Amino acid sequence: MLLSSRSISAARRAQSQQIGQGNPLSDFVDTLTTELGGGGGSVNYIFTPGAAQNGIIYGDWAQMMAAIAAQQAISVGFKPVIRFTASFTIPLAGMPVTGWGMALATLTSVLNSTGSIVVTVPNGVILDMLESVSNGLYLDLLPTTVTPLTWSLFGTGGPPWVLSIGLGASCKNHGTIPAVQTPGAMPGPQTYFVLAFFADSDTSTPASTAPMVEAHGNDVVIYAGQNQGVAVGGSLDGWATTTSGGATLFYLLGISSVIPVITWAGSQTTGSIATDSGMLNQRSGTLAQRALLNPLLFGPGVGIGKTYFATDLGANGTPLWWTGALWVDATGAVVP
Protein backbone atom coordinates (compact mmCIF):
# COMPACT_ATOMS: atom_id res chain seq x y z
CA MET A 1 0.00 0.00 0.00
CA LEU A 2 1.60 3.25 -1.05
CA LEU A 3 0.96 6.10 1.35
CA SER A 4 0.62 9.53 -0.28
CA SER A 5 2.29 12.69 0.98
CA ARG A 6 -1.05 13.65 2.50
CA SER A 7 -1.16 10.33 4.33
CA ILE A 8 2.29 10.80 5.79
CA SER A 9 1.50 14.37 6.81
CA ALA A 10 -1.75 13.30 8.43
CA ALA A 11 -0.02 10.45 10.22
CA ARG A 12 2.57 12.87 11.54
CA ARG A 13 -0.15 15.21 12.76
CA ALA A 14 -1.80 12.29 14.51
CA GLN A 15 1.49 11.30 16.10
CA SER A 16 2.09 14.86 17.30
CA GLN A 17 -1.26 14.63 19.09
CA GLN A 18 0.15 11.73 21.11
CA ILE A 19 -1.84 8.90 19.63
CA GLY A 20 -2.32 6.10 22.10
CA GLN A 21 -1.66 8.46 25.01
CA GLY A 22 -5.14 9.87 25.56
CA ASN A 23 -6.45 9.64 21.98
CA PRO A 24 -7.75 6.31 20.64
CA LEU A 25 -5.58 4.32 18.28
CA SER A 26 -8.60 4.33 16.00
CA ASP A 27 -7.87 7.98 15.20
CA PHE A 28 -4.60 6.92 13.62
CA VAL A 29 -6.33 4.03 11.87
CA ASP A 30 -8.89 6.43 10.43
CA THR A 31 -6.07 8.59 9.10
CA LEU A 32 -4.52 5.66 7.28
CA THR A 33 -7.73 4.17 5.91
CA THR A 34 -9.19 7.42 4.62
CA GLU A 35 -6.03 8.75 2.97
CA LEU A 36 -4.38 5.70 1.49
CA GLY A 37 -3.44 6.38 -2.05
CA GLY A 38 -1.07 5.90 -4.90
CA GLY A 39 2.22 7.79 -4.31
CA GLY A 40 4.93 8.26 -6.80
CA GLY A 41 4.86 11.46 -8.81
CA SER A 42 7.42 12.43 -11.40
CA VAL A 43 10.72 10.59 -11.59
CA ASN A 44 13.50 12.75 -10.18
CA TYR A 45 16.37 10.32 -10.82
CA ILE A 46 17.04 7.40 -13.16
CA PHE A 47 19.75 5.07 -11.94
CA THR A 48 21.59 3.02 -14.58
CA PRO A 49 24.60 1.27 -13.02
CA GLY A 50 27.84 2.50 -14.59
CA ALA A 51 26.25 5.19 -16.77
CA ALA A 52 27.74 8.65 -17.06
CA GLN A 53 25.79 11.34 -15.27
CA ASN A 54 23.53 13.19 -17.71
CA GLY A 55 20.65 15.27 -16.43
CA ILE A 56 18.54 13.05 -14.19
CA ILE A 57 20.46 9.91 -15.25
CA TYR A 58 23.06 8.67 -12.78
CA GLY A 59 25.34 5.63 -12.81
CA ASP A 60 27.31 6.27 -9.63
CA TRP A 61 25.36 5.68 -6.43
CA ALA A 62 27.36 8.03 -4.18
CA GLN A 63 27.10 10.79 -6.77
CA MET A 64 23.33 10.44 -6.94
CA MET A 65 23.03 10.40 -3.13
CA ALA A 66 25.04 13.63 -2.99
CA ALA A 67 22.69 15.22 -5.52
CA ILE A 68 19.67 14.14 -3.47
CA ALA A 69 21.18 15.59 -0.29
CA ALA A 70 21.86 18.88 -2.04
CA GLN A 71 18.33 19.08 -3.41
CA GLN A 72 16.80 18.18 -0.08
CA ALA A 73 18.73 21.02 1.57
CA ILE A 74 17.05 23.64 -0.64
CA SER A 75 13.63 22.11 -1.33
CA VAL A 76 11.03 21.91 1.41
CA GLY A 77 9.13 18.63 1.22
CA PHE A 78 11.44 17.14 -1.42
CA LYS A 79 10.81 13.39 -1.70
CA PRO A 80 12.70 11.85 -4.63
CA VAL A 81 11.52 9.06 -6.90
CA ILE A 82 14.45 6.87 -8.01
CA ARG A 83 13.85 4.54 -10.95
CA PHE A 84 16.26 1.65 -11.50
CA THR A 85 16.89 0.37 -15.02
CA ALA A 86 18.87 -2.70 -13.94
CA SER A 87 19.56 -4.81 -10.86
CA PHE A 88 22.04 -3.26 -8.47
CA THR A 89 23.79 -3.89 -5.15
CA ILE A 90 23.93 -0.76 -3.02
CA PRO A 91 27.55 -0.12 -1.99
CA LEU A 92 28.93 0.32 1.50
CA ALA A 93 31.87 2.41 0.30
CA GLY A 94 31.29 6.13 0.75
CA MET A 95 28.22 5.70 2.95
CA PRO A 96 27.81 8.33 5.71
CA VAL A 97 27.84 7.15 9.33
CA THR A 98 24.04 7.44 9.57
CA GLY A 99 23.53 5.60 6.28
CA TRP A 100 22.54 6.64 2.79
CA GLY A 101 20.10 9.52 3.20
CA MET A 102 17.03 8.51 1.21
CA ALA A 103 15.03 11.70 1.93
CA LEU A 104 11.74 9.74 2.08
CA ALA A 105 12.43 8.35 -1.39
CA THR A 106 10.36 5.97 -3.46
CA LEU A 107 12.39 3.27 -5.21
CA THR A 108 10.83 1.99 -8.44
CA SER A 109 11.67 -0.12 -11.48
CA VAL A 110 11.38 0.49 -15.22
CA LEU A 111 10.00 -3.06 -15.45
CA ASN A 112 6.75 -3.58 -13.58
CA SER A 113 7.05 -7.38 -13.38
CA THR A 114 7.98 -8.31 -9.84
CA GLY A 115 11.64 -9.15 -9.37
CA SER A 116 12.79 -8.31 -12.90
CA ILE A 117 14.97 -5.71 -11.22
CA VAL A 118 16.44 -6.52 -7.81
CA VAL A 119 18.07 -3.96 -5.55
CA THR A 120 20.22 -5.76 -2.98
CA VAL A 121 21.08 -4.22 0.38
CA PRO A 122 24.10 -6.15 1.75
CA ASN A 123 24.98 -6.30 5.42
CA GLY A 124 26.37 -3.01 6.68
CA VAL A 125 24.43 -0.82 4.25
CA ILE A 126 21.80 1.44 5.82
CA LEU A 127 18.94 3.10 3.96
CA ASP A 128 17.96 6.00 6.21
CA MET A 129 14.51 7.56 5.74
CA LEU A 130 13.31 5.28 2.92
CA GLU A 131 9.56 5.64 2.43
CA SER A 132 8.39 3.25 -0.28
CA VAL A 133 9.16 0.54 -2.83
CA SER A 134 7.01 0.49 -5.94
CA ASN A 135 6.31 -0.70 -9.49
CA GLY A 136 7.69 -4.25 -9.44
CA LEU A 137 11.00 -3.45 -7.74
CA TYR A 138 12.28 -6.16 -5.42
CA LEU A 139 14.25 -4.81 -2.45
CA ASP A 140 16.29 -7.66 -0.96
CA LEU A 141 17.69 -6.98 2.53
CA LEU A 142 20.60 -9.09 3.83
CA PRO A 143 21.39 -7.89 7.37
CA THR A 144 23.47 -10.01 9.72
CA THR A 145 24.98 -7.42 12.10
CA VAL A 146 23.61 -3.99 11.08
CA THR A 147 19.94 -2.95 10.89
CA PRO A 148 19.39 -1.77 7.29
CA LEU A 149 16.29 0.45 7.63
CA THR A 150 16.36 3.49 9.92
CA TRP A 151 14.47 6.77 10.40
CA SER A 152 17.07 8.93 12.10
CA LEU A 153 15.35 12.26 11.39
CA PHE A 154 12.18 11.14 13.17
CA GLY A 155 13.79 9.48 16.17
CA THR A 156 12.09 8.17 19.29
CA GLY A 157 8.45 9.14 19.65
CA GLY A 158 8.51 11.31 16.52
CA PRO A 159 6.44 10.93 13.33
CA PRO A 160 5.58 7.34 12.38
CA TRP A 161 8.24 5.33 10.60
CA VAL A 162 6.51 4.21 7.40
CA LEU A 163 7.64 1.69 4.78
CA SER A 164 5.10 1.19 2.01
CA ILE A 165 5.31 -1.50 -0.66
CA GLY A 166 3.02 -1.56 -3.67
CA LEU A 167 2.20 -1.81 -7.35
CA GLY A 168 3.80 -5.21 -7.77
CA ALA A 169 6.83 -4.45 -5.61
CA SER A 170 8.26 -6.68 -2.89
CA CYS A 171 10.60 -6.22 0.07
CA LYS A 172 12.03 -9.18 1.97
CA ASN A 173 14.55 -9.71 4.74
CA HIS A 174 16.91 -12.54 3.85
CA GLY A 175 19.39 -11.82 6.61
CA THR A 176 19.57 -13.14 10.15
CA ILE A 177 18.49 -10.07 12.17
CA PRO A 178 15.40 -7.83 11.95
CA ALA A 179 15.41 -5.16 9.24
CA VAL A 180 13.87 -2.57 11.59
CA GLN A 181 14.46 -2.13 15.31
CA THR A 182 12.15 0.24 17.17
CA PRO A 183 13.89 2.20 19.95
CA GLY A 184 11.58 1.27 22.82
CA ALA A 185 12.51 4.20 25.03
CA MET A 186 11.05 3.64 28.51
CA PRO A 187 9.99 5.82 30.09
CA GLY A 188 9.28 7.84 27.02
CA PRO A 189 6.87 8.30 24.11
CA GLN A 190 5.87 5.43 21.88
CA THR A 191 7.41 5.04 18.44
CA TYR A 192 5.10 3.87 15.66
CA PHE A 193 6.30 1.70 12.76
CA VAL A 194 3.89 1.16 9.85
CA LEU A 195 4.44 -1.56 7.24
CA ALA A 196 1.95 -0.76 4.51
CA PHE A 197 0.98 -2.70 1.39
CA PHE A 198 -1.04 -1.83 -1.69
CA ALA A 199 -1.27 -4.37 -4.50
CA ASP A 200 2.18 -5.71 -3.69
CA SER A 201 3.55 -9.08 -4.85
CA ASP A 202 4.65 -10.64 -1.60
CA THR A 203 4.34 -14.20 -2.86
CA SER A 204 6.40 -13.55 -5.99
CA THR A 205 9.66 -13.52 -4.04
CA PRO A 206 11.13 -15.98 -1.50
CA ALA A 207 9.83 -15.74 2.05
CA SER A 208 11.89 -13.76 4.54
CA THR A 209 14.37 -15.57 6.78
CA ALA A 210 14.27 -12.96 9.56
CA PRO A 211 11.63 -10.50 10.82
CA MET A 212 11.01 -7.21 9.09
CA VAL A 213 10.60 -5.52 12.48
CA GLU A 214 11.42 -6.15 16.11
CA ALA A 215 9.54 -3.94 18.57
CA HIS A 216 10.88 -2.83 21.93
CA GLY A 217 9.44 -1.18 25.02
CA ASN A 218 5.90 0.12 24.54
CA ASP A 219 6.28 0.81 20.83
CA VAL A 220 3.49 0.16 18.32
CA VAL A 221 3.74 -1.78 15.07
CA ILE A 222 0.96 -1.40 12.48
CA TYR A 223 0.48 -3.71 9.51
CA ALA A 224 -1.79 -2.12 6.92
CA GLY A 225 -2.78 -4.18 3.89
CA GLN A 226 -5.22 -2.94 1.24
CA ASN A 227 -6.75 -5.07 -1.52
CA GLN A 228 -4.94 -8.22 -0.50
CA GLY A 229 -4.93 -10.98 2.05
CA VAL A 230 -2.20 -11.35 4.62
CA ALA A 231 0.23 -14.25 4.81
CA VAL A 232 -1.01 -16.11 1.76
CA GLY A 233 0.54 -19.55 2.02
CA GLY A 234 2.34 -18.49 5.20
CA SER A 235 4.69 -16.23 3.25
CA LEU A 236 4.62 -13.57 5.98
CA ASP A 237 5.04 -15.87 8.95
CA GLY A 238 7.59 -14.40 11.33
CA TRP A 239 7.39 -10.88 9.84
CA ALA A 240 7.34 -9.23 13.28
CA THR A 241 8.63 -10.12 16.72
CA THR A 242 8.94 -8.79 20.25
CA THR A 243 9.87 -10.03 23.70
CA SER A 244 8.33 -6.93 25.32
CA GLY A 245 4.95 -7.33 26.95
CA GLY A 246 4.32 -3.62 26.48
CA ALA A 247 4.58 -3.63 22.69
CA THR A 248 1.41 -3.41 20.61
CA LEU A 249 0.73 -4.94 17.19
CA PHE A 250 -2.23 -3.68 15.18
CA TYR A 251 -3.40 -5.40 11.99
CA LEU A 252 -5.37 -3.21 9.61
CA LEU A 253 -6.47 -5.73 7.01
CA GLY A 254 -8.48 -6.42 3.91
CA ILE A 255 -11.48 -8.70 4.25
CA SER A 256 -9.79 -11.92 3.06
CA SER A 257 -6.81 -12.34 5.31
CA VAL A 258 -4.97 -14.86 7.43
CA ILE A 259 -3.03 -13.70 10.47
CA PRO A 260 0.66 -14.68 10.18
CA VAL A 261 2.34 -16.89 12.75
CA ILE A 262 4.76 -14.73 14.74
CA THR A 263 6.48 -14.60 18.12
CA TRP A 264 4.86 -11.66 19.89
CA ALA A 265 4.89 -11.22 23.67
CA GLY A 266 2.86 -8.00 23.59
CA SER A 267 -0.77 -7.34 22.74
CA GLN A 268 -2.36 -7.78 19.30
CA THR A 269 -5.43 -6.11 17.82
CA THR A 270 -7.11 -6.73 14.48
CA GLY A 271 -9.25 -4.28 12.53
CA SER A 272 -10.69 -4.01 9.06
CA ILE A 273 -9.41 -1.58 6.46
CA ALA A 274 -12.96 -1.37 5.10
CA THR A 275 -14.44 2.05 5.72
CA ASP A 276 -17.64 0.94 3.97
CA SER A 277 -19.32 -1.85 5.89
CA GLY A 278 -21.19 -2.76 2.71
CA MET A 279 -18.01 -4.44 1.44
CA LEU A 280 -19.13 -7.60 3.19
CA ASN A 281 -22.63 -7.55 1.76
CA GLN A 282 -23.33 -10.36 -0.68
CA ARG A 283 -19.87 -11.81 -0.23
CA SER A 284 -19.84 -15.48 -1.20
CA GLY A 285 -17.70 -18.58 -0.87
CA THR A 286 -17.41 -21.78 1.10
CA LEU A 287 -17.88 -22.08 4.85
CA ALA A 288 -14.13 -22.57 5.22
CA GLN A 289 -13.47 -19.33 3.35
CA ARG A 290 -16.08 -17.53 5.43
CA ALA A 291 -14.21 -18.52 8.60
CA LEU A 292 -11.31 -16.32 7.50
CA LEU A 293 -13.58 -13.27 7.85
CA ASN A 294 -14.32 -13.84 11.54
CA PRO A 295 -11.29 -11.97 12.99
CA LEU A 296 -12.10 -8.94 10.82
CA LEU A 297 -15.78 -8.54 11.61
CA PHE A 298 -15.05 -6.57 14.76
CA GLY A 299 -13.06 -3.95 12.86
CA PRO A 300 -14.08 -0.34 12.27
CA GLY A 301 -16.95 0.08 9.86
CA VAL A 302 -17.95 -3.60 9.78
CA GLY A 303 -20.94 -4.40 11.96
CA ILE A 304 -23.94 -6.52 12.72
CA GLY A 305 -26.13 -7.66 9.85
CA LYS A 306 -23.48 -8.21 7.21
CA THR A 307 -24.26 -11.10 4.91
CA TYR A 308 -22.37 -13.98 3.39
CA PHE A 309 -23.62 -16.53 0.85
CA ALA A 310 -22.30 -20.00 1.73
CA THR A 311 -22.08 -21.83 -1.58
CA ASP A 312 -21.52 -25.25 0.00
CA LEU A 313 -24.34 -25.14 2.56
CA GLY A 314 -27.55 -26.77 1.31
CA ALA A 315 -28.42 -27.88 -2.19
CA ASN A 316 -28.45 -24.35 -3.60
CA GLY A 317 -26.30 -22.47 -1.10
CA THR A 318 -27.48 -20.51 1.95
CA PRO A 319 -27.31 -16.82 2.96
CA LEU A 320 -25.86 -16.15 6.42
CA TRP A 321 -25.95 -13.10 8.68
CA TRP A 322 -23.37 -11.87 11.20
CA THR A 323 -24.88 -11.14 14.65
CA GLY A 324 -21.81 -9.47 16.05
CA ALA A 325 -20.62 -12.72 17.60
CA LEU A 326 -21.59 -15.57 15.26
CA TRP A 327 -23.19 -16.52 11.94
CA VAL A 328 -26.90 -17.46 11.66
CA ASP A 329 -29.15 -18.50 8.81
CA ALA A 330 -32.59 -17.06 7.98
CA THR A 331 -34.20 -19.10 10.78
CA GLY A 332 -31.78 -17.80 13.40
CA ALA A 333 -29.99 -21.13 13.67
CA VAL A 334 -26.26 -20.84 14.34
CA VAL A 335 -24.02 -21.97 11.48
CA PRO A 336 -20.57 -22.85 12.86
User: Does pTM top 0.85 for this prediction?
Assistant: no
Cα 145 to Cα 148: distance, rounded to the nearest angstrom: 9
**Which has the closest alpha carbon to 103: 154, 57, 58?**
154
Report whether pLDDT(88) > 50. yes
3-state SS, residue 10: helix
According to the model, what pLDDT value does residue 296 have? 54
> Does 61 share its domain with 91?
yes
- Are 260 and 317 contained in the same domain? no
User: Is the separation of the CB atoms in 165 and 200 below 8 Å?
Assistant: yes
What pLDDT sits at residue 237?
80
Position 126 scores a pLDDT of 98
Residues 149 and 211 reside in one and the same domain? yes
Mean pLDDT across the chain: 80
Q: State the residue range of the domain holding 327.
A: 276-336
Domain co-membership, 28 together with 93: yes
If asked whether residues 114 and 11 sit together in one domain, one would say: yes
Q: Provide the number of structural domains found in the chain.
A: 2
User: Which residue type is seen at 199?
Assistant: A
Residues 106 and 138 in one domain: yes
- Residue 113 shares a structural domain with residue 142: yes
- The backbone torsions φ and ψ at residue 202, rounded to the nearest 5 degrees and listed phi first, read -55, -40
Do residue 109 and residue 33 come from a single domain? yes
Q: 271-281: per-residue pLDDT in tens?
A: 665 544 444 55
Residues 251 and 326 in one domain: no
pLDDT band, very low/low/confident/very high, at 30 (cuts 50, 70, 90): very low
Q: Are residues 242 and 331 in the same domain?
A: no
Domain boundary pick from 273, 302, 318: 273
**246 touches 217 (CB < 8 A):** yes
Residues with Cβ within 8 Å of residue 268, at least 6 apart in sequence: 248, 249, 250, 251
The answer on pLDDT for 76 being more than 80 is: no
